[in-house]
């Protein structure tokens, strides 16, 4: 492979390309260098597989919950890895305070390398989970309904400004880290990519009130969510796992959108009723 300003570079193939090369990207992760190729395989999208639909709820405690009752409470960082991450980050922070940000240090470089390798292993584990789960869902279902979440807005900082400081900043920062750790966006990308080859359709639906709506009677109440895992409707008494109940609502919304042919609509927004003009 010939790279600009570097010349010929040797690399090891991991799989056949299977198409015409359009571009290449060189990246470094965990101290290792990778090259990825974007190819045009010439394959058309697979025909609809005709399999039953499913709703998917992405969560923090439960990574993926499906409308058929499936729960995947996956943790990507073990307790030992979390403790090691904390130790390495503390060691790196102390080295910065001792040596200053402009001075070099072999020990600091070694700590950064260890931290990079550990984070790369965790990222690879998350990517592997996203890819395997996505392929399983599109192989077994013809339509996968997911919430059209605005992850960037959901993980924005709550610190506010000097004039208007935020509240519960530390709690919000912890929630942001937990959301980003589950790779919601990466999982959706894997779903959309895998669906192209397995005859499935990915339907994005409005996420409003999916966790507060009873799937049995459609009553909406925040009090029905008794805890992170328990949903008990205050109107009809229907009880279910909270994430599975949300996934069923997502599936119903996806079927409603598909039924009316509103497939090209963008992300839903909550609309306010028009103001009445004074007579």
Residue 140, H or E segment = helix 106-140
269 Cβ contact partners less than 8 Å away, ≥ 6 residues apart: none
Q: Beta strands 230-232 and 239-241: pairing type?
A: antiparallel
Residue 272, H or E segment = none
Residue 3, H or E segment = strand 2-3
CB atoms within 10 A of CB 264: 5
What residues are paired with 20 via a beta bridge?
40
Report how far residue 207's alpha carbon sits from residue 211's, in angstroms, rounded to the nearest whole number. 8
75 — phi, psi (to 5°)? Answer: -115, 125
Report how far residue 7's alpha carbon sits from residue 49's, in angstroms, rounded to the nearest whole number. 46
Are residues 135 and 198 in contact, defined by beta-carbon separation less than 8 angstroms? yes
- The residue with tokens 């993980």 is 155
Are residues 228 and 186 in contact, defined by beta-carbon separation less than 8 angstroms? no
Report how far residue 233's alpha carbon sits from residue 219's, in angstroms, rounded to the nearest whole number. 8
Q: Cite the active site residues.
A: 57, 147, 243
Q: Three-state DSSP class for 145?
A: strand
């Amino acid at each position: 492979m010939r790279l600009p300003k570097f010349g010929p570079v040797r690399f090891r193939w991991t799989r056949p390309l299977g198409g015409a090369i359009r571009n290449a990207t060189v990246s470094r992760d965990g101290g290792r260098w990778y090259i990825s190729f974007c190819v045009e395989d010439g394959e058309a999208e697979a025909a609809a597989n005709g399999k039953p639909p499913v709703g998917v709820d992405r969560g923090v405690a439960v990574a993926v919950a499906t409308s058929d009752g499936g729960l995947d409470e996956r943790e990507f960082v073990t307790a030992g890895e979390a403790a090691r991450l904390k130790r390495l980050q503390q060691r790196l922070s102390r080295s910065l305070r001792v040596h200053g940000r402009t001075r070099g240090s072999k020990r600091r470089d070694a700590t950064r390398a260890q931290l990079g390798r550990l984070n790369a292993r965790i990222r690879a584990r998350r990517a592997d989970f996203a890819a395997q789960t996505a392929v399983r869902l599109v192989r077994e279902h013809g339509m996968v309904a997911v919430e059209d979440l605005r992850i960037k807005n959901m993980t924005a900082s709550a610190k506010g400004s000097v004039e208007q400081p935020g509240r519960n900043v530390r709690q919000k920062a912890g929630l942001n880290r937990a959301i980003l750790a589950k790779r919601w966006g990466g999982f959706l990308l894997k779903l959309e990519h895998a669906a192209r080859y397995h005859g499935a359709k990915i339907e994005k639906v409005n996420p409003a009130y999916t966790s507060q709506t009873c799937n049995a009677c459609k009553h909406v109440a925040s009090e029905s969510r008794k805890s992170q895992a328990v949903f008990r409707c205050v109107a009809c008494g229907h009880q279910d796992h909270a994430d599975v109940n949300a996934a069923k609502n997502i599936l119903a919304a996806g079927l409603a959108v598909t039924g009316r042919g509103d497939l090209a609509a963008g992300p839903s927004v909550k609309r306010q009723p028009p103001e009445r003009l004074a007579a």
